[in-house]
Amino acid sequence: MGIFILRRLGVMLLTALCLTFIVFWLTNLYPNLEKLAKNQGNFRMSDEAVTSYLGDRGYLQPMPVKFGQWLGVLPGWVTEREEGKTFGRCFDSDTPVDERPNRCGVLQGDWGTSTVFKDEVGSTVATRLALTGKLMLCVLLLMVPSALIVGVLAGMREGSKLDRSLSTFSIATTATPEYVSGVIFIAVLASSQFGISPILAEWGWIDGKTLFLGSATSAMADANFWNFFLPVLTISLYGMGYIARMTRASMTEVMTAQYIRTARLKGVKFSDIVLKHALRNALIAPFTVIMLQIPWLLNGVVIVETLFNYKGFGWLLVQAASNNDIELLLAVSVVSVVVVLVTQLISDIGYVFLNPRIRIS
């Protein structure tokens, strides 16, 4: 087991390195750098001005060198201006000479500076990640129990009317991407002109103009049911159908097993069979699915945060990517890649612990 985890960790590290290098390479292509220079300086910069801007800031070094500096294995660039000012990757011109560090990169815990937010990347990502963590926690709390209940109810009597209805429901949710369900929810539940809000307001059942709020910006500081439920529901619905279908498949398989038939022939109550005999074995497979679904939720998070204007990690990704904020984008991709790989590892290890029939040699 120890060797297995070590090997997986090694592969993870290699994957993360490869992926960050690809992101690094794509963001450091010359047209992207030119756009960055023009965004930071001014839009009418001449070609020479762009070159000197980029050269001064170490952008025109060879790609592996820059990547090494970002990682912190190579010393950072230092530029000496003619007028005597010296500045570098790790310090600006005001820093006293003997306090200037040689290397600063991810290994030294320095994630760089965001060119869009003019702030430390590390702290920016941490704040946004905390906000998205809140969203994800609510999503998981809503999605996992309801998906498991739907799946178990559908799977306990295969082919029954209940199974048909619930399966149709799960197919419908997997066919509804977040940007469709979000748009429909806002139009029906959070629009002051359409849907049910005008009717409810007319009857005097709600205080404000709309039942739910169409924007979750206020939920960043203070989340309550009315401003936070729609984004949570939108993300949960899309992921729910898949987990429910997997739970149903696993439940139907368990319900046809020999020991369930024995229990039925012995006259055990149906509810006891489902709850005591079948459920524990039926929930092994969905565990893996749920873990693997978490990276998928990241996509939903990006869409929903854009749609509901909730300034979390997904919103940060969009901002970083559309402004080619290189160091922020790298940090964002490192975080998301680590999320993907860690959930894969947890799902593998968890599967072994949950299922005593599988042992890794």
Partner 1 sequence: MEPLTWTGSLSGLNFIFYIVLLLLVLTIVAQLLFSLVPSGGARAVGADGTLADDQGVSGLINLVISWLFYAIIALVLIYLVGGIILGTGAGIFGGMARQMLPVWIALIITFAVSITYKRKLGLYGKLFDSTVGMIGFGIVMFWVFTGVMGGVFDMLITHDSLSQASGMKNKLPGTPLRGAEEGEYAWYLLGGDNLARDVFSRLIKGSWVVVLIAPLATLFAFMVGITLGLPAGYYSGRLDTILSFLANLILAFPVILLFYLLVTPEIVLTGIPNYMAAVLFVFPVIFFAVLLNSRYYTQPHIRTPLLIVVLGGLLWAYLSLITNDGFIVKNDDVTVYGIPAMIDWIPMPPEILVVFVSVVFVNSPTVFRIVRGLALDIKTRDYVAAAQTRGEGPWYIMLWEILPNARGPLIVDFCLRIGYTTILLGTLGFFGLGLESESPDWGSTINAGRRLLSLYPHAAIAPALSLLSLVLGLNLLADGLREESLRD
For binding to partner 1 (CB under 8 A), which residues are involved?
Answer: 11, 15, 18-19, 23, 26-27, 29-32, 34-35, 157, 160-162, 165, 171-172, 174-177, 179-180, 183-184, 186-187, 190-194, 210, 214, 270, 295, 298-299, 302-303, 306-307, 317-318, 321-322, 324, 329, 332-333, 336-337, 340-341
* Distance separating alpha carbons of residues 291 and 123, to the nearest angstrom: 27
Phi and psi of 205, rounded to 5°?
-85, -25
**CB nearer to partner 1: pick between 79 and 169:** 169
CB of 97 to partner 1, least distance (A): 38
Based on CB atoms, which residue is closest to partner 1, 90 or 317?
317
Minimal distance, residue 359 CB to partner 1, in Å: 21
CB 156 within 8 A of CB 274: yes
Which of helix, strand or coil describes residue 349?
helix
CB of 177 to partner 1, least distance (A): 4
Closer residue to partner 1, CB minimum distance, 90 or 237 = 237
Chain centroid, CA 167 distance in Å: 27
Long-range contacts: 165-170, Cβ < 8 Å, 24+? 166/244, 166/248, 167/245, 167/248, 169/241, 170/240, 170/241, 170/242, 170/244, 170/245, 170/248
- In the complex with partner 1, the residue whose CB is nearer, 210 or 227, is 210
Q: Least distance from C-beta 3 to partner 1, angstroms?
A: 17
Q: Taking Cα atoms as reference points, which of 148, 175, 145, 308 lies closest to residue 229? A: 308
- Smallest distance from the beta carbon of 257 to partner 1, in angstroms? 20
Minimum distance between the CB of residue 105 and partner 1, rounded to whole angstroms? 21
Torsion of CA 323, 327, 333, 335, to 10 degrees: -130
- How many other CB atoms are found less than 10 A from the CB of residue 269? 11
- Choose between 137 and 171: whose C-beta lies nearer to partner 1: 171
Q: Using CB atoms within 10 A of its CB, is residue 145 exposed (0-12), middle (13-18) or buried (19+)?
A: exposed
Nearer to partner 1, 212 or 287 (CB): 212
Report d(CA 312, CA 231) in Å as an integer: 12
